[in-house]
Amino acid sequence: MLDWIDRRITALCCLAPGDVSRLVPFFALYAVLFAALTMADGMALALFLGRVGADRLPLCYGLTALGSMAAVGAYMRMARHRPVAGVFRLILAGAAAVFLASWLAGLGFLGDAAGHAAPAVLFAAREVSLVLVLAHFGTFLQEYFTRDDLNRVLPVVYAGGRFGGLLGGATLEHLGPALGVLQLAPVVASLMFAGALAVTTLARRLPTAPDDPTAAARRPAGVPGGLARSPLFRWLVISSGLFMVVRWFLNYEYNHFFERHFASEAELAAFLGRYTQWALLASFVVQLLLVNRLVRFAGLRGAVGLTVVLLLLGMGRNLWELTLLAAVWSRLLESELRFGLRNPINQLVTNQFSRPDRVRVRAWTLGALNPVAALLGSIALGTLQVSGLTSWIAPVGFGLALLHALASFALTRHLQDPASSLPSPLLSRLAPRARFARSSRIV
């Protein structure tokens, strides 16, 4: 029976034999972490909009960016000198400690000033935790899978985040109004501590993967001068940076609508819990069943192009007055589809670098670039807001989305589709024709 289930999952998710048993522990770990991060997202957003207000979001984006820069700087120093699993444990334990401290501050145990700052600290802590988890989970994963393995299993492992998010959304919907939104903070901290324990267990029990034997031959960044002179790396940085700035424009627009639409933080938290479950269910299906197929049939270039089109549609819709449906679509693009569709595709792009370079690429794009983009978004939004030009926020965001589309097109010119590690019946049927074409080519 178990063998039959293994074969069905292998065929359904476009995996190779033996992949399922190897990826299950990492799927479960990512599910636990994203259950915590999903609850933290809804909790922090509801508390901030209810107690501080959406007009202070640009300032909070800037403070979040500064906190992220400090955290990423510390992370990059640790990553050079400590084992991968040890760094991951510190990230998760540190995040849990911040959530617990913010909970105590919100309850008034640390003084009035700390209590007033608690919503902003929770908002920033969730974002910083997300940046560090995203930056380091891929590094942790590559310790146990080769490059070819990762081309197959990455979308499936990352689907664990969507599964965990479903559980986190259900907890947010039911426990948030019942216990009080702030009381979810210790639950989030407990899940983070559980993730740190799981990392310790996996590091002790699982063998590490061998280095990629063909890394030098397949290294797209292997030019004199290293990453800085790689066109793939340059366009990845530019396109990712523009996307991250556009993301904060989306975040500002839908949060402003939510603040006006919902009467209380409990009502907003319940709505976000319900919405998150449906959105993550859709994202889970996309990531588990469609991403590998999309890359296999449309190629990595086609998959990148789809994410660009979706972002342009979302920013284009925001040029008109928002409705609840339009705000939800903006939230879906900024959050769930970013995790379920764009991030796995971006990880496949990152996977085209050699194994040592992948760590640096993730540190740059997710660690260093993310807070810089958040700071730029904060400055741009704050300037438009202070200048009384809030009506220009949507057009400026759409213009940035157009620039992101151009940068993404330049990026696709330097991509190599990872077809060799994604088994495809279509490719198998076309192989004889391809060999015939090569043998009959006129020179």
The pLDDT value recorded for residue 345 is 84
From the CA atom positions of the chain, what is the Rg in Å? 22
Percent of the chain clearing pLDDT 70 (strictly above): 85
Which domains are delineated in the chain? 20-208+228-419 (1.20.1250.20)
Predicted local confidence at residue 440, as pLDDT: 31
User: Is pLDDT larger for residue 417 or for residue 139?
Assistant: 139
pLDDT, average across residues 26-53: 89
Work out the mean pLDDT of the chain and round it to a whole number. Answer: 81
pLDDT digits (tens, 9 = 90+) for 49-95: 888 888 888 888 888 888 888 888 888 788 777 888 999 999 999 99
Burial code of 46-71, b = ≥16 C-beta within 10 A, e = fewer?
bbbbbbbebeebbebbbbbbebbbeb
The C-alpha angle 222, 227, 156, rounded to 5 degrees, equals 85
- Report d(CA 348, CA 296) in Å as an integer: 12
Reported as a single tens digit per residue, the pLDDT across 161-215 is: 878 888 888 888 888 778 888 899 999 999 999 999 999 999 998 888 776 554 4
Question: In angstroms, rounded to a whole number, what is the distance separating the alpha carbons of residues 263 and 430?
Answer: 58
First to last CA, the chain: 55
Has residue 437 got a pLDDT over 50? Answer: no
The type of residue at 285 is: V
**Sequence letter at residue 61:** Y
Q: What is the model's pLDDT at position 418? A: 56
Mean pLDDT of 376-400: 89
Give the residue among 346, 336, 349 at the shortest CA–CA distance from 284.
336
Q: Which of 72, 132, 47, 54 is nearest to 322 (CA)?
A: 54
**Cβ-contact 268, 258 below 8 angstroms:** yes
Write the pLDDT tens digit of every residue in 395-407.
Answer: 999 999 999 999 9
State residue 112's pLDDT score.
Answer: 80
Q: At what angle do helices 147-179 and 265-285 cross, to 10 degrees?
A: 150
Task: Give yes or no for a contact between 195 and 92, defined as CB atoms under 8 angstroms apart.
Answer: yes
Q: Give how far Cα 222 sits from Cα of 142, 156, 211, 218, 234, Å.
A: 19, 29, 16, 8, 13
Amino acid symbol at 139? T
Q: How many CB atoms lie within 10 A of CB 74?
A: 14
Collapsed DSSP state (helix, strand, coil) of residue 389: coil
Cα–Cα distance measured from residue 380 to residue 387, given in angstroms and rounded to the nearest whole number? 11
What would you measure as the largest C-alpha separation in the chain, in angstroms?
A: 81
Query: pLDDT-derived band of residue 366, with 50, 70 and 90 as boundaries?
Result: low
CB 288 within 8 A of CB 156: yes
> Is the CB of residue 20 less than 8 Å from the CB of residue 347?
no
* Angstrom distance (rounded) from CA 169 to CA 65: 26
Query: Comparing C-alpha atoms, which of 155, 172, 127, 126 is closest to residue 30?
Result: 155
Binned at pLDDT 50, 70 and 90, residue 1 comes out as low
Closest CA to 44 of 255, 263, 190, 330: 255
Contact 192, 33 (CB under 8 A): yes
How do residues 108-129 score in pLDDT, each as one tens digit? Answer: 888 788 888 888 899 888 888 9
33's CB contacts (< 8 A; 6+ apart) are 92, 133, 137, 161, 164, 191, 192, 195
Q: pTM for the full model?
A: 0.70
Say whether pLDDT at 216 is over 50: no
